[in-house]
Structure 1
Amino acid sequence: MPTKRVLVIDDEADIRAIIRGCLEDIAEWKVFTAASGEEGIQLAITEQPDGILMDVSMPGMSGLEALHKLQEESKTRMIPVVFLTAKALLEEQEIFTTLAIAGVVVKPFDPMTLVDQVTGVFGWNS
């Protein structure tokens, strides 16, 4: 199977580092990271990742706003997005079901099972 290319958009440097380490070291995927929605959109356009893991709550442009911009852009509209969120409130889960996203990964996540979780949510099981 060809190497997957994943873009991680999260304002927390520690979270980006943990996810990058897991996906690169365990799955041997190529990982790009961005600290903001704006930066993530630009990277998505230029790098054309196979999937995007994006935090919902970020300063400036939220994950929801970035999702809408990604879906408006012809070069990124077909890239599947998985939201990273620490908030697993029932109301928020209901909102997520109405969005065109591949799924949700709840923080804190277990780094040892993250690759399997991401693979499953994106539907990349071989």
Structure 2
Amino acid sequence: MKNCLVVDDSKVIRKVARHILESLDITVSEACDGREALSQCQSSDPDVVLLDWNMPVMSGMEFLQQLNATRSSRPKVIFCTTENGLGHIKAALDAGADEYVMKPFDRDTLESKLQIVGVL
């Protein structure tokens, strides 16, 4: 079974994502900021990370930069954010994100993104 680390400072977003991912037979773990997520990635190997952009302690971009610097092989990363400007999308993809999804998202959208990155 595939597993996903959901990284978001919003408990509501984490709960919605968990519900959708579990309905797709994906095991879910959660982190509320980038630092906690980085720690979890070092102790386990998620197949995919659903990553918020704006978080306290360590942002999504900082997390992605640290993940790239510390891991030779890393999980797929899907940025999940309200930041919808082309500059943000390009910056995320240039930093190594595999996909980008806008909040609010639904099951079909998230399922499609997971298929694109090869998790489903």
Percent of matched pairs sharing the same residue:
30
Partner of 1:120: 115
Structure 2 contact 35–58 (Cα < 8 Å) conserved: yes
Note if 1:104 corresponds to 2:114: no
Note if 1:34 corresponds to 2:62: no
Partner of 2:77: 81
Structure 1 contact 9–36 (Cα < 8 Å) conserved: yes
> Residues of 2 paired with 1:33 and 1:68: CA distance?
19
Note if 1:19 corresponds to 2:17: yes
Where in structure 2 are the equivalents of 1:42-61 lying within 5 Å?
Answer: 42-61=39-58
RMSD: 1.6
Partner of 1:9: 7
**What is the deviation of 1:56?**
0.7
> Residues of 2 paired with 1:32 and 1:124: CA distance?
16
Q: Could you state the TM-score of these two structures normalised by the residue count of structure 2?
A: 0.90
Structure 2 contact 2–119 (Cα < 8 Å) conserved: no
Structure 1 range deviating more: 40-49 or 95-104? 95-104
1:104 alignment partner, SS class: strand
List per-residue Cα deviations over 1:38-67 (Å, max 9, x = no partner): 111111111211111110111121100011
Runs of 4+ in 1 over 2 A off after TM superposition: none
**What is the deviation of 1:72?**
1.2
Identify the match of residue 91 of structure 1 among 70, 73, 87: 87
> Residues of 1 paired with 2:19 and 2:109: CA distance?
11
Unmatched runs of 5 consecutive residues or more in structure 1: none
1:101 alignment partner, SS class: coil
Counting matched residue pairs gives 120
> Residues of 2 paired with 1:95 and 1:44: CA distance?
22
**What is the deviation of 1:21?**
1.0
> Residues of 2 paired with 1:69 and 1:93: CA distance?
19
Q: Could you state the TM-score of these two structures normalised by the residue count of structure 1?
A: 0.86
